[in-house]
Amino acid sequence: MAIVINIDVMLAKRKMSVTELSERVGITMANLSILKNGKAKAIRLATLEAICKALECQPGDLLEYRSDEET
């Protein structure tokens, strides 16, 4: 089971850079990179909320479930 975080997709849709998102959310580039690359084991709801606010999206736009067969 895997939860995929599609930050890159939303960044492209919003024509926003990773640096700009980092500044708007108040998260370091290193932590944002961990999220983008699927290395994160958890995400705080406050962080998810801030990302959704900055990208003007819903959590479901960022999070995707993929079964073991798909990954």
Q: Which pLDDT score, from 0 to 100, does residue 27 have?
A: 94
Say whether pLDDT at 69 is over 80.
Answer: no
Average pLDDT over residues 46-63: 96
Q: Which helix (H) or strand (E) holds 63?
A: strand 63-66
pLDDT in tens, 25-48: 999 999 999 999 889 999 999 999
Whole-structure pTM value: 0.88
Q: Which pLDDT score, from 0 to 100, does residue 71 have?
A: 54
